[in-house]
């Protein structure tokens, strides 16, 4: 009798554990998939002004994905994003604009995306090198001589 009770207790525990696992796996959840996580602008001529890129976000889950906030690391990086819920199998985006004014040299900026997805937050990166316009450099060299 004790053995039967022990077997039934173990079987019940295994069944409840399996049922809980099945219930958890079936809960609707958004999943964020990014088209890319890094964007390299290469060389940017400072006098040409701001540059932008767009990261496409796909919802590969089975519930609406909501991007709640996007933050850059400084004021030179301005993000814009899809504000409406992104339905399963649909796409949204995060666009990032970088202002190179008075920022000569290499840069590498982190943009953090907050959402209701299980993996949260997610970061993307932009990088490049801000250079002077060749005409500006030539004028400076002529004036120095």
**What is the rounded distance in angstroms from the CA atom of residue 81 to the CA atom of residue 96?**
9
Q: What domains appear along the chain, each with residue ranges and CATH number? A: 32-139 (2.60.40.10)
Specify the pTM. 0.73
**What is the rounded distance in angstroms from the CA atom of residue 77 to the CA atom of residue 101?**
12
Summarize pLDDT for 113-144 with one digit per residue, the tens: 999 998 999 999 999 999 998 755 544 444 55
Summarize pLDDT for 67-110 with one digit per residue, the tens: 999 999 888 999 999 999 999 999 999 999 999 999 999 999 99
Q: Please compute the mean of the pLDDT values over residues 44-69 and round it to a whole number.
A: 96
SS3 116: coil
């Amino acid at each position: 009798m004790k053995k039967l009770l022990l077997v039934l207790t173990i079987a019940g525990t295994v069944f409840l554990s399996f049922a809980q696992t099945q219930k958890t796996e079936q809960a609707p959840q958004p999943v964020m998939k990014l088209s890319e996580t890094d964007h390299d602008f290469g060389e940017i001529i400072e006098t040409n002004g701001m540059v932008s890129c767009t990261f496409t976000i796909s919802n590969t889950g089975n519930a609406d994905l909501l991007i709640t906030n996007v933050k850059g690391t400084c004021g030179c990086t301005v993000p814009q994003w899809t504000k409406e819920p992104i339905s399963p199998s649909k796409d949204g985006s995060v666009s990032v604009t970088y202002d190179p004014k008075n920022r000569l040299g290499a840069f590498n900026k982190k943009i953090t995306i907050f959402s209701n997805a299980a993996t949260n937050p997610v970061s993307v990166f932009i990088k490049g090198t801000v250079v002077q316009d060749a005409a500006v450099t030539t004028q400076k060299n002529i004036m120095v001589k």
